[in-house]
Amino acid sequence: MDRPRYRAPKPLGSWPRLPGPLMWLLFATVAEAQRPNVVLIITDDVGYGDLSSYGAPDLRTPNIDRLGREGVRLTDFYANAPSCTPTRAALISGRYQQRYRLEGPLSGPSTASAEVGLPATGRTLPQLLKNGGYATGLIGKWHLGYKPEFSPSAHGFDYFFGFKSGYIDYYQHTGGDGRPDLFENATPVEVPGYMTDLTTERSIRFVEQNARRPFFLEVAYGAGHWPYQPPDRPSTARDNARHLVPHDDDPGTRADYVAMMERADRGVGEILATLDRLGLATNTLVIFTNDNGGEWLARATPLFNRKFTLWEGGIRVPALLRWPGRIPAGQVSGQVGITMDLTASILAATGVSIPPETRLDGIDLIPILAGRTPEVERTLYWRTNFAGISQRAVRMGDWKLLVEGGNLEHVFDVRRDLSERTDLAGTRTDLAKRLRALLIAWEATVDAEAKALQR
């Protein structure tokens, strides 16, 4: 794997002569300062077409869009899954979530989900960064387990402020079962404020407190996940924050959703301003993406369908990366990518040691986005069986096979037919056979590993 490491300091012979201990102290200080910081910003249940730079006509996201103007915007980037927990498991592990049997969102701590979570292997993204000398922080949503052995700290996060459930009352800070769900590290806390604003404030504090050392910060906004509670209108979410759907009375509006997302965008702007103020922007890789497709108030245009499905609207998501001096500004890239590629890219960019047994499933995208290597063809896989939806999919190059149920197969050219309106299964049976074989082989591999893990 092509790993762009941090720029080495000047050879010692070219430095001014200083006493030996001072020379090595200066050398180590410069080397440490040149290791890039990483800020990874993830929103929740946001549609592919919900950013201004992705065509939204009614939602203003100037700060998120700034990352694309000053870096690169990807058109063909995917979440690892059409729902929260599986995608986040792939991000933290760098591997297909099926290997850990995390294929649907965990429910509340009072359910059987309380016993389930992402196992801490010692090789997860935050742990490897921590081992490499990085300060590591997660602000916002976790959703990878409630027990201590599944907690953010067990995976290598030095600091955690946020919630463990899939969603939270933005004002009362309770989860779907009505229980308080706001933590600082392992301690339940009560902090007044709108959850999106608290996420921004704690993220800025983390950057300020770690400005003199390399840091990795995951900013996991709850917006625009339900409950649809806009800012500056304090209220208690109805029915313990139950997901309100179109046929409900007073279910929420697109205007509410827009206000929630624009507040998150404002938070992104405040975080970027903090990097500027502290002189950290030029040495910080900033990434923005989303965990899965949007819900019914989101905008998927021009894609079809939404969250929980493996149609493009359920898994194709926005992704923008900025790394001044490393990624040229103002690019739009059609390179196919997926959430776990971000894991590989961050580890490569920071130059931390990756044990061979980590076995990352993603690839380092930075050399491609930096223009050092050409785009590569990808073959990516998905599987979901949740909320009454059973689907499998594979994308190889521009071709996608979507299997619904057992044998309802669709074949699409998703480069030219983004909306998946022209099913080619009847004319490209060759592709259906080839892609189906790849999908079956992948399933056998990940299921065998998951089975071995359960022993």
Three-state SS at 209: helix
Token pair listed for 269: 């702007």
- Residue 208 has a CB neighbour count (10 Å cut-off) of 11
Main-chain dihedrals φ then ψ at residue 125, nearest 5 degrees: -50, -55
Angle at which helix 84-93 crosses helix 339-350, to 10 degrees, equals: 20
> Pairing mode, if any, of strands 72-74 and 319-322?
antiparallel
Distance CA 51, CA 114 (A): 35
Characterise 290 by phi-psi region: left (phi > 0), alpha (psi -120 to 50), beta (else): beta
Q: Is 84 a catalytic residue?
A: yes
With CA atoms as reference, report the closest residue to 342 among 165, 50, 79: 79
Q: Length of the chain, please? A: 455
Q: Which residue among 84, 155, 173, 225 is the active-site one?
A: 84
Sheet bearing 135-141, strands edge to edge: 187-188, 183-184, 159-163, 135-141, 215-220, 37-43, 284-290, 319-322, 72-74, 331-333
Q: Is 225 a catalytic residue?
A: no
Q: What is the largest CA-CA distance in the chain?
A: 76
Q: Which residue among 143, 155, 173, 225 is the active-site one?
A: 143
With CA atoms as reference, report the closest residue to 202 among 218, 215, 188: 218
Angle at which helix 195-209 crosses helix 254-277, to 10 degrees, equals: 10
Characterise 86 by phi-psi region: left (phi > 0), alpha (psi -120 to 50), beta (else): alpha
| Sign (positive or negative) of CA dihedral 81, 220, 345, 53 | positive
By CB atoms closer than 10 A (0-12, 13-18, 19+), residue 349 is buried
Which DSSP state fits 98?
G
* Residues annotated catalytic, as ranges: 84, 143
